[in-house]
């Protein structure tokens, strides 16, 4: 087995059976070069991601995320598949790794976010919630960060999304997401890097929003103080979100809650901030 590409000291890619695979192991890429023989004794995990786009996003994400977080996520996915017989598509590797890494960063900065759907998740998706709670214990054991119960709910949502069950019509979701993206582009007169992780996070958030809208299951308002702070701090992003609110009310007869406006404002701000940093 030869190295195809070095992603970082702990992650490389190889070609097996004419397919690229991502290989993870502590120090597996250290002082190595493309074409070198892989030290198979250092292999912890081989990721077989069939979708090339997802594989590329995952490799990009692995550059940013500590190896212990990636290992924790892999263990969570293995538990879901092997102990709970969940059939998950490959997108879970990107979505869950990105979410948990961001959740750990937020927790360490004292910025934990409430999950307005936690009660519903516990009631209607007890298995996914149970996996989420097990995930919190595993994350604490591996990283030393104790995430809140709200994050168990967010993890459950990612599992549900990867199962492709209980979801709204794909065409409806896609149309709504594309319309919102167009609104944001028009408001800021910007084009976005659609290959960036920030854009991927934004689209993922919009998909969850669309699912809630079509299921008529809004986030419950509870973050009023934080909402006022974010609204004042990110004025341009909030103006854009107000336009999105009007669009959703007119086309879908849906009134966004304060929490939904809060989270969408944060995501819009991240998107435009990333775009501005690239331009500069």
CATH of the domain at 43: 2.30.24.10
| 57 and 43 fall within a common domain | no
Burial 79-108 (b: 16+ CB within 10 A, else e): ebeeeeebebebbbbbbbbbbbbebbeebe
Phi, psi of 118 (to 5 degrees): -55, -45
**Token digits for 27?**
């120090």
Q: Check whether residue 71 and residue 44 sit in a common domain.
A: no
Same domain, 176 and 186: yes
Q: Which residue has the higher pLDDT, 24 or 148?
A: 148
Please name the residue that has the structure tokens 């709970």.
84
| 167, pLDDT greater than 60 | no
pLDDT reading at 93 higher than 60: yes
pLDDT at 241: 97
Q: How many domains does the chain have?
A: 3
pLDDT value at residue 166:
47
Please say which residue of 48, 64, 83 terminates a domain: 48
Residues 6 and 89 in one domain: no
Residue-level pLDDT at 77: 94
More confident residue, 54 or 178: 178
Q: What does the mean pLDDT of the chain come to?
A: 86
pLDDT at 133 over 90: yes
- Assign residue 130 the CATH number of its domain: 1.10.1790.10
Residue 279 pLDDT greater than 60, yes or no:
no
Got the DSSP string for 30-59?
TT--TTPBP-GGG--EEE----HHHHHHHH
* Residue 155 shares a structural domain with residue 227: no
First to last CA, the chain: 41
Same domain? For 179 and 268 the reply is yes
Shared-domain flag, residues 58 and 44? no
Claim to verify: residue 29 and residue 131 sit in the same structural domain: no
181 with 193, same domain: the answer is yes
Same domain, 54 and 74: yes
Q: Assess whether pLDDT exceeds 90 at residue 115.
A: no
Q: Are residues 95 and 15 in the same domain?
A: no
Q: Pick from 117, 140, 163: which residue ends a domain?
A: 163
Q: What is the DSSP string of 137-148?
A: HHHHHHHS----
Shared domain check, 71 and 110: yes
Q: Which of 163, 181, 204 is the last residue of a domain?
A: 163
**Domain interval for residue 32:** 1-48
Per residue in 198-221, pLDDT tens? 887 888 788 888 878 887 777 766
């Amino acid at each position: 087995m030869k190295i195809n590409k070095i992603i970082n000291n702990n992650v490389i890619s190889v070609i097996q059976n004419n397919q690229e695979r991502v290989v993870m192991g502590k120090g597996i890429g250290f002082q190595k070069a493309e074409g070198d023989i892989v030290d198979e004794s250092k292999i912890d995990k081989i990721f077989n991601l069939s979708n090339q786009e997802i594989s590329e996003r995952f490799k990009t994400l692995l550059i940013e995320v500590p190896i212990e977080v990636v290992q924790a996520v892999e263990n969570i996915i293995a538990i879901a598949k092997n102990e709970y017989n969940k059939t998950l598509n490959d997108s879970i590797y990107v979505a869950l790794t990105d979410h948990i890494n961001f959740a750990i960063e937020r927790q360490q900065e004292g910025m934990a976010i409430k999950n307005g759907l936690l009660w519903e998740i516990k009631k209607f998706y007890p298995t996914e919630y149970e996996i989420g709670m097990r995930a919190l214990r595993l994350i604490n054991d591996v990283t030393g960060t104790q995430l809140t119960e709200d994050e168990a709910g967010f993890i459950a949502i990612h599992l549900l999304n990867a199962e492709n069950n209980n979801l709204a019509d794909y065409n409806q979701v896609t149309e709504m997401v594309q319309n919102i993206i167009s609104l944001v582009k028009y408001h800021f007169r910007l084009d976005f890097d659609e290959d960036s992780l920030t854009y991927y996070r934004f689209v993922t958030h919009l998909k969850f929003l669309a699912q809630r809208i079509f299921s008529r299951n809004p986030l419950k308002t509870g973050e009023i103080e934080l909402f006022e702070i974010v609204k004042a701090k990110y004025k341009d992003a909030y103006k854009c979100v107000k336009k999105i609110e009007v669009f959703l009310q007119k086309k879908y007869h849906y009134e966004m809650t304060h929490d939904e406006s809060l989270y969408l404002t944060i995501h819009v701000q991240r998107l435009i901030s990333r775009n501005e940093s690239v331009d500069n």
